[in-house]
Amino acid sequence: MLSRLAESLYWIGRYVERAENTARLLNVNYYATLEAGGRVSEEWRPLLEISGTKNGFAEQYGRADAHSVAAWLAFDRNNPSSIASSLARARENARGLRDRIPSEMWEELNRAYLNLCFQNAEVLARDGLFEYCSAARDASQMFFGIAFATLPRDEGWSFMRSGQLLERGDNLLRLLQVRYSVRTPSNPAQAAVDNHRWMAVLKTVSAYEAYRKTEHGGLQPRAIAKFLLLNPYFPRSVRYSGENLHDALAQIERIHPQAHPQLLREAKWLLARLEHASVDDILERHSPSIDTLLSDFNAIGSAIYAAYFTA
């Protein structure tokens, strides 16, 4: 496969997953602020750190509040992680692959682009953020559902899947990194707010129901971390993402044997960390830490780019 085609599929996977992640983050945070009753500005600032766009936001908006953060993450094309930017970039990559991917995949991306990428902050004025984010989430799920049903499990599939899983693992680790930087308060009133925050963490990755079926001790931060980091069966856990990322890269390696052995070794090392680490290793002993795991995901992304997409 030409590197240009592989790169386009890889970035489609990342951008569509990013649009869904941002939509989930916005939607859940909107309801979490309502349930928490106040402290709205405090609840919106962490979204900038989770999305990695804090500096860009500060240059353009300055003050972080519900309106400015929502506009930045949903519609602003100057933000490469906004829903509109992510869908537009995914669509641009797919436009050059219309003869290489199922027509239904292109049609879904094009439909999402036309429906969502030309909207602006007027959506907030009419209290339409929930509908906008729900439409973005549904478009992503529809796109990947079509891909799972129709895209041949060849090299192109593996590159798209690699991009999707890298983005998913990176997003969840950033979410946990930010939420664990805040100490659990001892004040009962603040503890109630903290409880809402952890419920929001689970709902942001659609893990609330799965977590409650697995863990029966309430919303304990340590138990939530264990589930989201190390559960081998939940499809949005870090371990699940690492395992399936390794499998996608192993398939590419089988097509190009010994072309880039170091890349697969890095993926194996990440998977070994996740398979053998305990939650106490990560949270208490920092071996590996959440920061280390995030760096490992980013290093694999850089290695994929260097190995396959540079001339």
Residue keyed to tokens 């990755």: 205
CA 249/CA 263 separation, integer angstroms:
8
Instruction: Burial-class residue 246 by CB neighbours within 10 Å (0-12, 13-18, 19+).
Output: buried
* pTM, 2 dp: 0.94
**Do 140 and 16 lie in a common domain?**
yes
Q: How confident is the model over 73-114, as pLDDT tens digits?
A: 999 999 999 999 999 999 999 999 999 999 999 999 999 999
Over range 239-259, report the average pLDDT. Answer: 95
Q: How confident is the model over 265-284, as pLDDT tens digits?
A: 999 999 999 999 999 999 99
Extract the tokens encoding 119: 């909207």
**Do 163 and 276 lie in a common domain?**
yes
CA 21/CA 15 separation, integer angstroms:
10
**Do 141 and 159 lie in a common domain?**
no
b/e sequence 75-105, b meaning 16+ C-beta within 10 Å: bbeebebbbbbbbbbbbebbeebeebbeebb
DSSP string, 94-159: HHTTTTTS-HHHHHHHHHHHHHHTT--THHHHTT-HHHHHHHHHHHHHHHHHHHHHHS-SSHHHHH
CA 242/CA 162 separation, integer angstroms:
10
Q: Which of 120, 151, 182 corresponds to the end of one domain?
A: 151
**Do 117 and 165 lie in a common domain?**
no
pLDDT of residue 259: 85
pLDDT of residue 33: 73
Over range 129-136, report the average pLDDT. Answer: 96
Instruction: Burial-class residue 276 by CB neighbours within 10 Å (0-12, 13-18, 19+).
Output: exposed
**Do 115 and 185 lie in a common domain?**
no
Domain hosting 291: range is 153-311
Q: Which of 151, 184, 207 corresponds to the end of one domain?
A: 151
CA 180/CA 198 separation, integer angstroms:
10
